Structure 1
Amino acid sequence: MRGFIVPGTDQRGAALVITLLVLIALIVVAAGLVTTSVVNTKISGTDQRRAKALDLAEAGVQEAVSRIKSGEVPGSNNPKMVAQIFLANAGSVPVLGTDSVGLGTAQPAGNWLNYTTASRNKGTLTVKYMTDASRQAIYKYDINKSIPMNTLTGMPIYEITSTGVVGNASRTVVADVCAKPFNVNMKGALASGVDVKFTGNAFSCGYNHRIDTPYDTGVNGRAGVGGCNESPQHWEVGTGDMTGIWSGGAINTGGAANRDGTPPEQGGQPGFYAGPWETLGLTQANFYSWIGAAQANVPANLDQNIYLDNDGTPQNASGNYKIGT
Protein backbone atom coordinates (compact mmCIF):
# COMPACT_ATOMS: atom_id res chain seq x y z
CA MET A 1 0.00 0.00 0.00
CA ARG A 2 1.35 3.26 -1.05
CA GLY A 3 0.81 6.38 0.90
CA PHE A 4 1.02 9.96 -0.17
CA ILE A 5 2.57 12.60 1.92
CA VAL A 6 0.88 15.99 1.49
CA PRO A 7 3.28 18.75 2.39
CA GLY A 8 1.95 21.31 4.89
CA THR A 9 0.60 24.56 3.32
CA ASP A 10 1.31 28.01 4.87
CA GLN A 11 -1.62 30.45 4.02
CA ARG A 12 -0.26 33.46 5.86
CA GLY A 13 1.10 35.02 2.64
CA ALA A 14 -2.25 34.71 0.89
CA ALA A 15 -4.03 36.33 3.83
CA LEU A 16 -1.60 39.24 3.69
CA VAL A 17 -2.26 39.74 -0.01
CA ILE A 18 -6.02 39.67 0.53
CA THR A 19 -5.71 42.13 3.41
CA LEU A 20 -3.69 44.50 1.24
CA LEU A 21 -6.24 44.26 -1.57
CA VAL A 22 -9.09 45.01 0.81
CA LEU A 23 -7.14 47.94 2.27
CA ILE A 24 -6.43 49.33 -1.19
CA ALA A 25 -10.12 49.02 -2.09
CA LEU A 26 -11.10 50.86 1.08
CA ILE A 27 -8.58 53.61 0.34
CA VAL A 28 -9.96 54.00 -3.19
CA VAL A 29 -13.54 54.16 -1.89
CA ALA A 30 -12.56 56.64 0.83
CA ALA A 31 -10.72 58.80 -1.69
CA GLY A 32 -13.79 58.73 -3.91
CA LEU A 33 -15.99 59.77 -1.01
CA VAL A 34 -13.64 62.62 -0.11
CA THR A 35 -13.53 63.76 -3.73
CA THR A 36 -17.31 63.58 -3.98
CA SER A 37 -17.65 65.53 -0.74
CA VAL A 38 -15.29 68.25 -1.98
CA VAL A 39 -17.09 68.46 -5.33
CA ASN A 40 -20.48 68.63 -3.61
CA THR A 41 -19.19 71.36 -1.32
CA LYS A 42 -17.91 73.33 -4.31
CA ILE A 43 -21.20 72.85 -6.16
CA SER A 44 -23.13 73.91 -3.08
CA GLY A 45 -21.00 77.04 -2.70
CA THR A 46 -21.37 77.90 -6.39
CA ASP A 47 -25.14 77.43 -6.19
CA GLN A 48 -25.31 79.75 -3.20
CA ARG A 49 -23.31 82.43 -5.00
CA ARG A 50 -25.48 82.10 -8.09
CA ALA A 51 -28.65 82.39 -5.99
CA LYS A 52 -27.30 85.52 -4.28
CA ALA A 53 -26.27 86.95 -7.65
CA LEU A 54 -29.83 86.42 -8.92
CA ASP A 55 -31.21 88.22 -5.86
CA LEU A 56 -28.87 91.13 -6.59
CA ALA A 57 -29.92 91.26 -10.23
CA GLU A 58 -33.57 91.43 -9.18
CA ALA A 59 -32.71 94.24 -6.74
CA GLY A 60 -31.17 96.11 -9.66
CA VAL A 61 -34.41 95.77 -11.61
CA GLN A 62 -36.26 97.32 -8.66
CA GLU A 63 -33.93 100.34 -8.59
CA ALA A 64 -34.38 100.81 -12.34
CA VAL A 65 -38.17 100.69 -11.97
CA SER A 66 -37.95 103.26 -9.17
CA ARG A 67 -35.88 105.58 -11.36
CA ILE A 68 -38.39 105.22 -14.20
CA LYS A 69 -41.22 106.14 -11.82
CA SER A 70 -39.34 109.18 -10.51
CA GLY A 71 -38.79 110.51 -14.04
CA GLU A 72 -35.00 110.28 -13.81
CA VAL A 73 -35.06 107.82 -16.69
CA PRO A 74 -36.30 110.08 -19.49
CA GLY A 75 -39.74 109.44 -20.92
CA SER A 76 -38.54 111.12 -24.10
CA ASN A 77 -40.04 108.66 -26.60
CA ASN A 78 -36.66 108.64 -28.32
CA PRO A 79 -36.16 105.05 -29.55
CA LYS A 80 -32.40 105.39 -29.12
CA MET A 81 -32.62 106.52 -25.49
CA VAL A 82 -30.37 104.62 -23.07
CA ALA A 83 -30.17 105.27 -19.33
CA GLN A 84 -27.43 103.62 -17.28
CA ILE A 85 -27.21 103.52 -13.50
CA PHE A 86 -23.67 103.26 -12.15
CA LEU A 87 -22.24 102.09 -8.85
CA ALA A 88 -21.07 105.63 -8.20
CA ASN A 89 -22.19 108.89 -6.68
CA ALA A 90 -24.22 111.24 -8.87
CA GLY A 91 -21.23 113.49 -9.60
CA SER A 92 -18.90 110.65 -10.55
CA VAL A 93 -20.73 108.86 -13.35
CA PRO A 94 -19.02 108.33 -16.73
CA VAL A 95 -19.75 110.76 -19.56
CA LEU A 96 -22.17 109.19 -22.04
CA GLY A 97 -23.32 109.96 -25.57
CA THR A 98 -26.05 112.23 -26.92
CA ASP A 99 -28.94 109.80 -26.52
CA SER A 100 -27.73 108.43 -23.19
CA VAL A 101 -28.25 109.43 -19.57
CA GLY A 102 -25.91 108.45 -16.73
CA LEU A 103 -27.21 108.21 -13.17
CA GLY A 104 -25.50 107.44 -9.89
CA THR A 105 -27.01 104.65 -7.83
CA ALA A 106 -29.78 105.56 -5.40
CA GLN A 107 -28.54 103.02 -2.87
CA PRO A 108 -27.63 104.26 0.62
CA ALA A 109 -23.99 105.28 0.95
CA GLY A 110 -21.81 102.50 2.32
CA ASN A 111 -24.36 99.78 1.55
CA TRP A 112 -24.07 99.39 -2.19
CA LEU A 113 -25.21 96.10 -3.66
CA ASN A 114 -23.21 94.73 -6.56
CA TYR A 115 -25.81 94.82 -9.35
CA THR A 116 -24.11 97.40 -11.54
CA THR A 117 -20.63 98.75 -12.23
CA ALA A 118 -18.63 101.91 -11.59
CA SER A 119 -17.54 102.15 -15.23
CA ARG A 120 -19.45 101.47 -18.42
CA ASN A 121 -19.43 97.81 -19.49
CA LYS A 122 -21.82 94.95 -20.17
CA GLY A 123 -22.56 94.60 -16.45
CA THR A 124 -23.90 98.15 -16.05
CA LEU A 125 -27.54 98.44 -15.00
CA THR A 126 -29.21 99.61 -18.22
CA VAL A 127 -32.66 100.88 -19.17
CA LYS A 128 -33.80 101.44 -22.74
CA TYR A 129 -36.98 101.30 -24.75
CA MET A 130 -38.05 98.03 -26.32
CA THR A 131 -37.86 98.80 -30.04
CA ASP A 132 -37.90 97.19 -33.44
CA ALA A 133 -34.62 95.90 -34.88
CA SER A 134 -33.80 99.25 -36.51
CA ARG A 135 -34.48 101.17 -33.28
CA GLN A 136 -36.89 103.45 -35.08
CA ALA A 137 -40.17 102.49 -33.37
CA ILE A 138 -40.93 101.94 -29.68
CA TYR A 139 -43.09 99.00 -28.67
CA LYS A 140 -46.04 99.99 -26.50
CA TYR A 141 -48.60 98.14 -24.41
CA ASP A 142 -52.28 98.96 -24.89
CA ILE A 143 -54.62 96.90 -22.71
CA ASN A 144 -57.57 97.88 -24.90
CA LYS A 145 -56.12 96.26 -28.03
CA SER A 146 -56.71 92.65 -29.08
CA ILE A 147 -52.93 92.47 -29.53
CA PRO A 148 -51.74 94.69 -26.65
CA MET A 149 -48.13 95.08 -27.82
CA ASN A 150 -47.87 97.41 -30.79
CA THR A 151 -45.96 100.48 -31.96
CA LEU A 152 -48.83 102.97 -32.16
CA THR A 153 -50.84 103.25 -28.94
CA GLY A 154 -50.43 102.56 -25.25
CA MET A 155 -47.66 102.93 -22.68
CA PRO A 156 -44.02 102.58 -23.85
CA ILE A 157 -42.25 99.39 -22.80
CA TYR A 158 -38.88 99.70 -21.09
CA GLU A 159 -36.25 96.95 -21.19
CA ILE A 160 -34.13 96.65 -18.03
CA THR A 161 -30.90 94.62 -17.98
CA SER A 162 -29.45 93.95 -14.54
CA THR A 163 -26.49 91.73 -13.63
CA GLY A 164 -25.77 90.63 -10.07
CA VAL A 165 -22.25 89.49 -9.20
CA VAL A 166 -21.06 87.48 -6.18
CA GLY A 167 -17.44 86.34 -6.39
CA ASN A 168 -17.02 84.56 -9.71
CA ALA A 169 -20.75 83.90 -10.07
CA SER A 170 -23.07 86.21 -11.99
CA ARG A 171 -26.68 86.22 -13.03
CA THR A 172 -28.40 88.55 -15.51
CA VAL A 173 -32.08 89.45 -15.52
CA VAL A 174 -33.75 91.14 -18.49
CA ALA A 175 -37.15 92.57 -17.52
CA ASP A 176 -39.70 94.29 -19.75
CA VAL A 177 -41.84 96.78 -17.84
CA CYS A 178 -44.33 99.53 -18.57
CA ALA A 179 -46.37 101.94 -16.51
CA LYS A 180 -49.76 100.68 -15.47
CA PRO A 181 -52.34 102.31 -17.75
CA PHE A 182 -54.99 104.44 -16.09
CA ASN A 183 -58.62 104.78 -17.06
CA VAL A 184 -58.73 108.50 -16.41
CA ASN A 185 -62.03 109.79 -15.01
CA MET A 186 -61.94 113.54 -15.63
CA LYS A 187 -64.90 115.83 -14.95
CA GLY A 188 -63.32 118.92 -16.50
CA ALA A 189 -60.07 120.74 -17.17
CA LEU A 190 -60.56 122.25 -13.71
CA ALA A 191 -62.70 120.36 -11.21
CA SER A 192 -63.63 121.43 -7.68
CA GLY A 193 -66.06 120.26 -5.04
CA VAL A 194 -66.56 123.83 -3.79
CA ASP A 195 -67.08 127.30 -5.27
CA VAL A 196 -64.61 128.45 -7.92
CA LYS A 197 -63.46 132.06 -8.21
CA PHE A 198 -61.86 132.41 -11.62
CA THR A 199 -60.40 135.88 -12.18
CA GLY A 200 -57.32 137.73 -13.39
CA ASN A 201 -55.66 136.22 -16.46
CA ALA A 202 -56.41 132.58 -15.55
CA PHE A 203 -57.21 130.21 -18.41
CA SER A 204 -58.83 126.77 -18.36
CA CYS A 205 -59.44 124.80 -21.54
CA GLY A 206 -61.41 121.56 -21.71
CA TYR A 207 -60.65 120.80 -25.34
CA ASN A 208 -58.54 117.71 -25.95
CA HIS A 209 -55.02 118.59 -27.11
CA ARG A 210 -52.16 116.78 -28.79
CA ILE A 211 -49.47 115.41 -26.50
CA ASP A 212 -46.86 117.76 -28.01
CA THR A 213 -48.85 120.93 -27.25
CA PRO A 214 -46.50 123.58 -25.73
CA TYR A 215 -47.24 124.21 -22.05
CA ASP A 216 -48.02 127.92 -22.55
CA THR A 217 -50.45 127.45 -25.43
CA GLY A 218 -53.66 129.42 -24.93
CA VAL A 219 -52.41 131.88 -22.32
CA ASN A 220 -53.94 134.65 -24.43
CA GLY A 221 -57.11 132.74 -25.19
CA ARG A 222 -58.09 129.83 -27.38
CA ALA A 223 -58.29 131.68 -30.69
CA GLY A 224 -55.59 133.54 -32.59
CA VAL A 225 -51.81 133.43 -32.40
CA GLY A 226 -50.60 131.22 -29.56
CA GLY A 227 -54.08 129.79 -29.09
CA CYS A 228 -55.09 126.14 -28.73
CA ASN A 229 -56.50 125.92 -32.22
CA GLU A 230 -54.28 128.35 -34.11
CA SER A 231 -53.48 127.58 -37.73
CA PRO A 232 -51.61 125.67 -39.00
CA GLN A 233 -50.70 123.71 -35.84
CA HIS A 234 -54.24 123.00 -34.64
CA TRP A 235 -53.21 121.64 -31.25
CA GLU A 236 -56.72 120.34 -30.58
CA VAL A 237 -57.47 116.80 -31.75
CA GLY A 238 -61.22 117.27 -32.26
CA THR A 239 -62.44 114.46 -29.98
CA GLY A 240 -62.60 113.75 -26.25
CA ASP A 241 -63.48 117.33 -25.25
CA MET A 242 -64.97 118.22 -21.86
CA THR A 243 -66.06 121.21 -19.82
CA GLY A 244 -63.58 123.96 -18.98
CA ILE A 245 -64.62 124.29 -15.30
CA TRP A 246 -66.63 121.74 -13.31
CA SER A 247 -67.73 122.64 -9.79
CA GLY A 248 -69.88 121.27 -7.02
CA GLY A 249 -70.59 124.88 -6.06
CA ALA A 250 -70.84 128.22 -7.82
CA ILE A 251 -68.47 129.46 -10.53
CA ASN A 252 -67.54 133.14 -10.45
CA THR A 253 -65.44 134.55 -13.29
CA GLY A 254 -64.07 138.00 -13.90
CA GLY A 255 -61.26 140.07 -15.32
CA ALA A 256 -59.47 138.63 -18.33
CA ALA A 257 -59.99 135.03 -17.23
CA ASN A 258 -61.01 132.60 -19.98
CA ARG A 259 -62.61 129.19 -19.81
CA ASP A 260 -63.35 127.08 -22.85
CA GLY A 261 -64.74 123.62 -23.38
CA THR A 262 -67.96 121.79 -24.14
CA PRO A 263 -69.60 123.48 -22.30
CA PRO A 264 -67.26 126.20 -20.98
CA GLU A 265 -68.45 125.65 -17.38
CA GLN A 266 -70.75 123.49 -15.25
CA GLY A 267 -71.60 124.66 -11.74
CA GLY A 268 -73.67 123.09 -8.95
CA GLN A 269 -72.75 119.55 -9.98
CA PRO A 270 -73.14 116.55 -7.64
CA GLY A 271 -70.69 113.67 -7.27
CA PHE A 272 -67.27 115.21 -6.71
CA TYR A 273 -64.41 112.74 -6.26
CA ALA A 274 -64.08 110.90 -2.95
CA GLY A 275 -60.34 111.13 -3.47
CA PRO A 276 -57.70 111.53 -6.19
CA TRP A 277 -57.71 107.77 -6.82
CA GLU A 278 -61.08 108.10 -8.54
CA THR A 279 -59.59 110.40 -11.19
CA LEU A 280 -57.22 107.59 -12.18
CA GLY A 281 -59.64 104.69 -11.91
CA LEU A 282 -57.73 103.17 -8.98
CA THR A 283 -58.77 101.85 -5.60
CA GLN A 284 -57.69 103.91 -2.61
CA ALA A 285 -55.20 101.22 -1.56
CA ASN A 286 -53.66 101.00 -5.03
CA PHE A 287 -53.39 104.77 -5.24
CA TYR A 288 -51.43 105.10 -1.99
CA SER A 289 -49.22 102.18 -2.96
CA TRP A 290 -48.47 103.87 -6.29
CA ILE A 291 -47.95 107.40 -4.98
CA GLY A 292 -45.42 106.32 -2.34
CA ALA A 293 -44.73 107.49 1.19
CA ALA A 294 -46.00 110.88 2.34
CA GLN A 295 -43.61 113.82 2.57
CA ALA A 296 -44.04 116.57 5.14
CA ASN A 297 -42.44 119.26 2.97
CA VAL A 298 -42.40 120.16 -0.71
CA PRO A 299 -39.30 118.50 -2.25
CA ALA A 300 -36.85 120.35 -4.48
CA ASN A 301 -37.48 117.93 -7.36
CA LEU A 302 -41.07 118.35 -8.51
CA ASP A 303 -40.65 116.09 -11.55
CA GLN A 304 -42.21 113.11 -9.80
CA ASN A 305 -45.32 111.89 -8.03
CA ILE A 306 -45.55 113.74 -4.72
CA TYR A 307 -47.74 112.93 -1.74
CA LEU A 308 -47.76 115.71 0.86
CA ASP A 309 -49.11 115.14 4.36
CA ASN A 310 -48.00 117.18 7.35
CA ASP A 311 -49.62 115.16 10.14
CA GLY A 312 -50.25 111.63 8.88
CA THR A 313 -54.02 112.07 8.59
CA PRO A 314 -55.12 111.85 4.95
CA GLN A 315 -57.45 114.50 3.51
CA ASN A 316 -57.94 116.59 6.66
CA ALA A 317 -56.85 119.80 4.86
CA SER A 318 -54.32 120.67 7.58
CA GLY A 319 -51.32 121.32 5.32
CA ASN A 320 -50.12 124.72 4.13
CA TYR A 321 -47.70 124.39 1.23
CA LYS A 322 -46.05 126.84 -1.12
CA ILE A 323 -44.45 126.05 -4.46
CA GLY A 324 -42.06 128.58 -5.97
CA THR A 325 -41.37 132.09 -4.74
Structure 2
Amino acid sequence: MTARLPLPASGATPVRVMTVAGSDSGGGAGIQADMRTFALLGLHACVAVTAVTVQNSTGVTGIQEIEPSVVAAQMRSVVPDIGVSAVKTGMLASGPIIDAIADAAVDLRIGRDADVPLVVDPVCASMHGDPLLAADALGALKERLFPLATVVTPNLDEVRLLTGIDVVDADTQRAAAVALHALGPRWALVKGGHLRGSDVSPDVLYDGTGFLEFPSARIDTPHDHGAGDTLAAAITGALGHGYAVPDAVGFAKQWVTRGLAAAYPLGAGHGPVNPLWRLDPEAD
Protein backbone atom coordinates (compact mmCIF):
# COMPACT_ATOMS: atom_id res chain seq x y z
CA MET A 1 0.00 0.00 0.00
CA THR A 2 1.37 3.42 -0.92
CA ALA A 3 1.88 5.98 1.85
CA ARG A 4 0.15 8.67 -0.20
CA LEU A 5 -3.44 9.55 -1.07
CA PRO A 6 -4.54 10.77 -4.51
CA LEU A 7 -4.09 14.50 -5.01
CA PRO A 8 -6.94 16.54 -6.53
CA ALA A 9 -6.51 18.00 -9.98
CA SER A 10 -5.55 21.66 -10.08
CA GLY A 11 -8.68 23.74 -9.48
CA ALA A 12 -10.76 20.73 -8.39
CA THR A 13 -12.36 20.74 -4.96
CA PRO A 14 -10.43 18.34 -2.70
CA VAL A 15 -11.93 15.79 -0.36
CA ARG A 16 -13.09 17.73 2.71
CA VAL A 17 -12.53 16.57 6.29
CA MET A 18 -12.93 18.16 9.72
CA THR A 19 -10.94 18.15 12.95
CA VAL A 20 -12.65 18.99 16.24
CA ALA A 21 -9.77 19.60 18.63
CA GLY A 22 -7.62 22.02 20.60
CA SER A 23 -4.99 24.42 19.34
CA ASP A 24 -1.30 23.84 20.13
CA SER A 25 0.57 27.14 20.18
CA GLY A 26 3.84 25.29 19.59
CA GLY A 27 2.47 23.85 16.35
CA GLY A 28 3.44 20.24 17.05
CA ALA A 29 0.13 18.60 17.96
CA GLY A 30 -3.61 19.30 18.08
CA ILE A 31 -5.32 21.13 15.26
CA GLN A 32 -1.98 22.23 13.85
CA ALA A 33 -0.78 18.63 13.44
CA ASP A 34 -4.15 17.62 11.98
CA MET A 35 -4.19 20.42 9.42
CA ARG A 36 -0.56 19.80 8.45
CA THR A 37 -1.37 16.14 7.85
CA PHE A 38 -4.57 16.90 5.95
CA ALA A 39 -2.85 19.46 3.72
CA LEU A 40 0.04 17.16 2.87
CA LEU A 41 -2.44 14.39 2.06
CA GLY A 42 -4.16 16.70 -0.43
CA LEU A 43 -7.29 17.29 1.68
CA HIS A 44 -9.20 20.45 2.55
CA ALA A 45 -9.32 20.82 6.35
CA CYS A 46 -12.25 22.34 8.21
CA VAL A 47 -11.95 22.94 11.96
CA ALA A 48 -13.98 23.30 15.12
CA VAL A 49 -11.73 24.62 17.89
CA THR A 50 -12.48 23.22 21.36
CA ALA A 51 -9.76 24.93 23.39
CA VAL A 52 -6.69 27.11 23.07
CA THR A 53 -3.64 25.76 24.87
CA VAL A 54 -0.57 27.68 25.96
CA GLN A 55 2.24 25.25 25.24
CA ASN A 56 5.66 24.83 23.73
CA SER A 57 8.05 21.92 23.24
CA THR A 58 8.40 21.41 27.01
CA GLY A 59 4.78 21.34 28.19
CA VAL A 60 1.37 22.94 28.63
CA THR A 61 1.06 25.94 30.95
CA GLY A 62 -2.49 27.10 30.23
CA ILE A 63 -5.82 26.11 28.69
CA GLN A 64 -8.76 28.29 27.65
CA GLU A 65 -11.85 26.25 26.79
CA ILE A 66 -14.22 27.43 24.08
CA GLU A 67 -17.89 27.78 25.01
CA PRO A 68 -19.58 24.42 24.18
CA SER A 69 -22.30 26.07 22.09
CA VAL A 70 -19.61 27.78 20.01
CA VAL A 71 -17.81 24.48 19.43
CA ALA A 72 -21.02 22.89 18.18
CA ALA A 73 -21.90 25.99 16.15
CA GLN A 74 -18.64 25.65 14.22
CA MET A 75 -19.66 22.13 13.21
CA ARG A 76 -23.22 23.13 12.41
CA SER A 77 -22.00 26.01 10.24
CA VAL A 78 -19.44 24.11 8.20
CA VAL A 79 -20.88 20.66 7.56
CA PRO A 80 -24.15 21.60 5.77
CA ASP A 81 -22.38 24.22 3.65
CA ILE A 82 -18.97 22.78 2.74
CA GLY A 83 -19.70 19.11 3.36
CA VAL A 84 -17.19 16.71 4.88
CA SER A 85 -16.34 13.09 4.13
CA ALA A 86 -14.88 12.26 7.56
CA VAL A 87 -14.46 13.88 10.98
CA LYS A 88 -11.98 13.36 13.79
CA THR A 89 -11.95 14.57 17.37
CA GLY A 90 -8.91 15.27 19.51
CA MET A 91 -8.64 17.32 22.69
CA LEU A 92 -12.20 17.96 23.91
CA ALA A 93 -11.39 19.43 27.34
CA SER A 94 -14.70 18.99 29.22
CA GLY A 95 -17.95 17.07 29.57
CA PRO A 96 -20.16 19.91 28.33
CA ILE A 97 -18.03 20.26 25.19
CA ILE A 98 -18.28 16.50 24.57
CA ASP A 99 -22.07 16.63 25.02
CA ALA A 100 -22.35 19.52 22.56
CA ILE A 101 -20.21 17.70 19.98
CA ALA A 102 -22.18 14.47 20.36
CA ASP A 103 -25.49 16.29 19.88
CA ALA A 104 -24.16 18.06 16.78
CA ALA A 105 -22.75 14.82 15.37
CA VAL A 106 -26.10 13.08 15.67
CA ASP A 107 -27.93 15.98 14.03
CA LEU A 108 -25.35 16.23 11.22
CA ARG A 109 -25.30 12.48 10.48
CA ILE A 110 -21.72 12.00 11.66
CA GLY A 111 -20.79 8.68 13.25
CA ARG A 112 -20.48 4.93 12.93
CA ASP A 113 -24.04 4.33 11.75
CA ALA A 114 -24.41 7.59 9.83
CA ASP A 115 -23.20 9.12 6.58
CA VAL A 116 -19.84 10.48 7.73
CA PRO A 117 -17.29 8.31 9.62
CA LEU A 118 -16.03 9.60 12.97
CA VAL A 119 -12.53 8.98 14.33
CA VAL A 120 -12.29 9.57 18.09
CA ASP A 121 -8.78 10.13 19.43
CA PRO A 122 -9.49 10.27 23.19
CA VAL A 123 -6.85 12.82 24.15
CA CYS A 124 -6.60 12.86 27.94
CA ALA A 125 -3.11 14.27 28.56
CA SER A 126 -0.18 15.76 26.71
CA MET A 127 2.97 13.72 26.08
CA HIS A 128 4.46 15.55 29.09
CA GLY A 129 1.62 14.34 31.35
CA ASP A 130 -0.25 17.65 31.47
CA PRO A 131 -4.04 16.97 31.76
CA LEU A 132 -6.04 17.92 28.67
CA LEU A 133 -9.39 16.43 29.72
CA ALA A 134 -11.28 17.22 32.91
CA ALA A 135 -11.37 14.23 35.25
CA ASP A 136 -15.17 14.24 35.30
CA ALA A 137 -15.33 14.17 31.47
CA LEU A 138 -14.23 10.56 31.04
CA GLY A 139 -17.81 9.41 31.56
CA ALA A 140 -19.11 11.70 28.84
CA LEU A 141 -16.37 10.51 26.49
CA LYS A 142 -17.29 6.87 27.01
CA GLU A 143 -21.07 7.29 27.19
CA ARG A 144 -21.69 9.95 24.55
CA LEU A 145 -18.88 9.85 21.98
CA PHE A 146 -17.57 6.29 21.91
CA PRO A 147 -20.94 4.85 20.82
CA LEU A 148 -20.86 7.25 17.82
CA ALA A 149 -17.29 6.40 16.82
CA THR A 150 -16.33 4.53 13.69
CA VAL A 151 -12.92 3.92 15.26
CA VAL A 152 -11.25 5.01 18.52
CA THR A 153 -7.47 5.42 18.72
CA PRO A 154 -6.20 5.64 22.32
CA ASN A 155 -2.58 5.30 23.39
CA LEU A 156 -1.72 3.01 26.27
CA ASP A 157 -2.02 5.69 28.97
CA GLU A 158 -5.50 6.55 27.67
CA VAL A 159 -6.40 2.85 27.50
CA ARG A 160 -5.57 2.56 31.20
CA LEU A 161 -7.82 5.49 32.07
CA LEU A 162 -10.68 4.25 29.89
CA THR A 163 -10.62 0.53 30.73
CA GLY A 164 -8.42 0.05 33.79
CA ILE A 165 -6.23 -2.35 31.81
CA ASP A 166 -2.46 -1.89 31.98
CA VAL A 167 -1.16 -3.07 28.60
CA VAL A 168 2.21 -4.80 28.98
CA ASP A 169 2.15 -7.43 26.25
CA ALA A 170 0.15 -8.80 23.29
CA ASP A 171 -2.44 -10.53 25.49
CA THR A 172 -3.28 -7.44 27.54
CA GLN A 173 -3.30 -5.33 24.38
CA ARG A 174 -5.97 -7.59 22.89
CA ALA A 175 -7.92 -7.58 26.16
CA ALA A 176 -7.86 -3.78 26.09
CA ALA A 177 -9.16 -3.75 22.50
CA VAL A 178 -12.08 -5.97 23.55
CA ALA A 179 -12.87 -3.70 26.52
CA LEU A 180 -12.74 -0.59 24.36
CA HIS A 181 -14.98 -2.15 21.71
CA ALA A 182 -17.53 -2.93 24.43
CA LEU A 183 -17.89 0.85 24.96
CA GLY A 184 -19.58 1.16 21.57
CA PRO A 185 -17.24 2.04 18.68
CA ARG A 186 -17.38 -0.02 15.52
CA TRP A 187 -13.60 -0.54 15.67
CA ALA A 188 -11.11 -0.16 18.52
CA LEU A 189 -7.44 0.52 17.77
CA VAL A 190 -4.99 0.04 20.64
CA LYS A 191 -1.73 1.71 19.71
CA GLY A 192 1.51 0.13 20.86
CA GLY A 193 3.89 3.03 20.47
CA HIS A 194 4.22 3.33 24.26
CA LEU A 195 4.97 -0.40 24.67
CA ARG A 196 8.62 0.42 25.16
CA GLY A 197 9.73 -3.13 25.90
CA SER A 198 8.84 -4.26 22.36
CA ASP A 199 11.29 -4.17 19.44
CA VAL A 200 8.41 -3.14 17.20
CA SER A 201 5.51 -0.70 17.54
CA PRO A 202 2.48 -3.02 17.45
CA ASP A 203 -1.03 -1.64 16.89
CA VAL A 204 -4.06 -3.92 17.32
CA LEU A 205 -7.44 -3.31 15.65
CA TYR A 206 -10.62 -5.10 16.79
CA ASP A 207 -14.18 -5.05 15.45
CA GLY A 208 -15.88 -7.48 17.83
CA THR A 209 -15.13 -10.54 15.72
CA GLY A 210 -11.39 -10.62 15.09
CA PHE A 211 -8.06 -8.89 15.54
CA LEU A 212 -5.82 -7.28 12.95
CA GLU A 213 -2.23 -6.40 13.80
CA PHE A 214 -0.18 -3.53 12.37
CA PRO A 215 3.43 -3.87 13.50
CA SER A 216 6.16 -1.52 12.35
CA ALA A 217 9.78 -0.90 13.16
CA ARG A 218 10.22 1.19 16.29
CA ILE A 219 11.76 4.53 15.32
CA ASP A 220 14.45 5.59 17.78
CA THR A 221 13.67 9.28 18.22
CA PRO A 222 12.70 11.52 21.14
CA HIS A 223 10.83 13.76 18.70
CA ASP A 224 7.35 12.24 18.59
CA HIS A 225 5.15 15.18 19.56
CA GLY A 226 1.80 14.90 17.78
CA ALA A 227 2.22 11.27 16.76
CA GLY A 228 -1.25 10.29 17.96
CA ASP A 229 -2.91 13.27 16.31
CA THR A 230 -1.06 12.57 13.06
CA LEU A 231 -2.08 8.92 13.01
CA ALA A 232 -5.75 9.72 13.70
CA ALA A 233 -5.72 12.49 11.08
CA ALA A 234 -4.26 10.15 8.47
CA ILE A 235 -6.93 7.55 9.29
CA THR A 236 -9.55 10.27 8.87
CA GLY A 237 -8.11 11.33 5.51
CA ALA A 238 -8.12 7.78 4.20
CA LEU A 239 -11.70 7.22 5.41
CA GLY A 240 -12.62 10.44 3.61
CA HIS A 241 -11.29 8.86 0.43
CA GLY A 242 -13.53 5.83 0.99
CA TYR A 243 -11.00 3.41 2.46
CA ALA A 244 -12.31 0.62 4.68
CA VAL A 245 -11.20 1.01 8.31
CA PRO A 246 -8.45 -1.67 8.22
CA ASP A 247 -7.01 -0.17 5.04
CA ALA A 248 -7.21 3.35 6.52
CA VAL A 249 -5.35 2.18 9.63
CA GLY A 250 -2.69 0.44 7.52
CA PHE A 251 -2.23 3.58 5.45
CA ALA A 252 -2.01 5.81 8.52
CA LYS A 253 0.48 3.50 10.21
CA GLN A 254 2.81 3.91 7.24
CA TRP A 255 2.25 7.67 7.23
CA VAL A 256 3.09 8.22 10.91
CA THR A 257 6.08 5.85 10.75
CA ARG A 258 7.51 7.89 7.89
CA GLY A 259 6.79 11.06 9.87
CA LEU A 260 8.63 9.70 12.91
CA ALA A 261 11.62 8.77 10.77
CA ALA A 262 11.72 12.38 9.51
CA ALA A 263 11.02 14.02 12.89
CA TYR A 264 13.13 17.02 13.84
CA PRO A 265 14.25 18.76 17.05
CA LEU A 266 12.37 21.88 18.08
CA GLY A 267 12.90 24.11 21.08
CA ALA A 268 14.20 22.76 24.37
CA GLY A 269 11.91 19.72 24.51
CA HIS A 270 10.30 17.30 22.09
CA GLY A 271 10.12 18.03 18.37
CA PRO A 272 7.18 17.01 16.19
CA VAL A 273 6.37 14.14 13.89
CA ASN A 274 7.22 15.49 10.44
CA PRO A 275 5.01 14.77 7.42
CA LEU A 276 7.03 17.12 5.21
CA TRP A 277 8.71 14.10 3.61
CA ARG A 278 5.56 14.06 1.49
CA LEU A 279 6.93 17.05 -0.41
CA ASP A 280 9.89 15.01 -1.70
CA PRO A 281 8.82 13.57 -5.09
CA GLU A 282 11.46 10.83 -4.74
CA ALA A 283 10.17 9.57 -1.37
CA ASP A 284 7.98 6.44 -1.45
Q: Please identify the structure whose Cα radius of gyration is greater.
A: 1
Q: Same fold (TM over 0.5)?
A: no
Higher helix residue share: 2
Q: Which has the higher contact order (CA 8 A, sep 6+)?
A: 2
